[in-house]
Amino acid sequence: MTKELTLIDAPSGGQIGYRTEGAAGQWIVLVHGWCGSAEHWDLVAPELARDHRVLVVSHPGFGGTEEPPAAGQTVFAMGLAVAHVLSRLDIKDAILIGHSMGGPISTEIAIAVPERIAGVIGLDTLSDRGYYGRVPDGEIRRRHDEFAKDYTGIMRQMVNDIVHPTTGEELRVLLTQGMLAAARPDFALDVKDDLFLWNAEDRWPMVSSPKMLLNSPWVARLADPEPMPCFAATRIENYESGHFPMIEAPVMIVEKLKTCIAWLASNKTAD
């Protein structure tokens, strides 16, 4: 059963929710993606907490937290909200694990409070130019309008496209229902618009700590084929599951993440 979150005011309005697990070890910060919540990490956080202290968050407006005004509906503002929690808890030497939209948010956290960050792991995120490479304004509007016309249907189709073929129907339905329930549609689509304005080419090089990506080849089949130069020197590893490995294949991804955490610990400078 999901633990209750502590709710605090976010710097740009609304609330951010968080909980901690584990009693000792390096801090691991689990940062969910678009239309996710702290619940996305329920199967993974306790396992990581065996050897680490773990912080799990729900971004403002997601997972039952209070929505922020327009100024807080950005990747930048959500990064500042998590950075605020790190400061509140005096967390240092943290490894950020950002899933999907949580990759850009983790990038902003690492830029905002570099003195608190020991490394960044992007989990199925960041390297797709079509999502993270500053989408043209007209395309952002087209995607917004298309999604808004059939929010439930397109959410269902999106989930089906990005989960692994071996993921069963019951889990697909649960993932879809959870994402639909995570936030109001209008709010969620406005946040998604801002995500498409964000540009990894500008922001990823500003992360001063060691960093790497852990991505799904299955999901990569849908990605823009043109690579972004900012990731040319970034270590990128693969895992065999869909876009939600913490739910689709939690045992596997825990072991993968432990390997990535160990690699980051052995590298003292960023790429």
* Structure confidence by residue, pLDDT tens digits, 206-258: 999 999 999 999 999 999 999 999 999 999 999 999 999 999 999 999 999 99
- State the amino acid at position 86 in one-letter form: L
More confident residue, 265 or 47: 47
**Could you tell me what percent of the chain has a pLDDT over 70?**
98
State yes or no: pLDDT of 271 exceeds 70.
no
Q: What is the mean pLDDT of residues 90-105?
A: 98
Alpha carbon distance 209, 97 (integer Å): 13
> Is residue 263 a contact partner of residue 270, using CB atoms and an 8 Å limit?
no
Alpha carbon distance 248, 242 (integer Å): 7
**Could you tell me what percent of the chain has a pLDDT over 90?**
96
Q: What is the mean pLDDT of residues 166-193?
A: 98
Q: What is the mean pLDDT of residues 100-112?
A: 98
Report CA torsion sign: 46, 51, 55, 58.
negative
Instruction: Kindly list the structural domains of the chain, giving each domain's residue range(s) and its CATH number in brackets, ordered by start.
Output: 6-265 (3.40.50.1820)
* Structure confidence by residue, pLDDT tens digits, 53-81: 999 999 999 999 999 999 999 999 999 99
State yes or no: pLDDT of 2 exceeds 90.
no
* Structure confidence by residue, pLDDT tens digits, 22-55: 999 999 999 999 999 999 999 999 999 999 999 9
Between the alpha carbon of residue 165 and those of residues 70, 95, 157, the distances in Å are 37, 30, 13
Mean pLDDT of the chain: 96
Output the pLDDT for position 222.
96
Alpha carbon distance 206, 225 (integer Å): 24
Output the pLDDT for position 217.
97
Output the pLDDT for position 175.
98
> Is residue 98 a contact partner of residue 107, using CB atoms and an 8 Å limit?
yes
State yes or no: pLDDT of 1 exceeds 50.
no
